[in-house]
Structure formats: C-alpha cells, structure tokens
C-alpha cells in the first residue's frame, strides 16, 4: 500500500530545490520514491496561485469550470 503522506513529504522536499522559473507544463520530478509532473505552472486557488502537480499514487481534487470538482488518483506518469 502506498503511504500518500510520506510521498507528499518527499515531494515537497524535492520541490524546494527546484528553481520555480524552470517549471513548465510537462516538467517531471523523479526519484526512486517520487514521480510528479507539472500540469500547470500557475493555477489560481481562490486564495492565491500555485503550480498544479500530478504525483503518482496521490489523490487530488481540482475544479473543472466554475463549480465542477474532479477527484482522482494519479496512477502512472510515463
């Protein structure tokens, strides 16, 4: 079973070492333990803007359009 919390902790540590100006759609972070891909370098989240990532094995919620929520798990990044 995948420990989602542990994956996220490792992802956030890796992300700190990346120059944010280098991140574009399709940018991949990959180690033996974490694999993530940038979906969008700048997304608005009501209270601010951040990079939107898909991380293998991690659940995510996001909106499509004005009010539709999508919930899913990133299974594999090729």
| pLDDT of 25 over the 70 cut | yes
| pLDDT of 5 over the 80 cut | yes
Q: What pLDDT was estimated at residue 40?
A: 86
| pLDDT of 58 over the 70 cut | yes
Which element (helix H / strand E) includes 50?
strand 49-55
| pLDDT of 1 over the 60 cut | no
Q: What pLDDT was estimated at residue 26?
A: 94
From the list 54, 62, 52, 57, the residue with the least C-alpha distance to 7 is: 57
Strand partners, 68: 64
Q: Average pLDDT of 5-24?
A: 87
């Amino acid at each position: 079973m995948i420990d989602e919390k542990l994956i996220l902790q490792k992802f956030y540590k890796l992300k700190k070492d990346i120059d944010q100006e280098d991140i574009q759609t399709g940018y991949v972070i990959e180690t033996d333990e974490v694999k993530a891909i940038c979906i969008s370098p700048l997304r608005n989240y009501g209270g601010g803007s951040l990079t939107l990532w898909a991380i293998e094995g991690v659940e995510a919620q996001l909106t499509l359009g004005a009010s539709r929520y999508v919930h899913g798990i990133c299974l594999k990044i090729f």
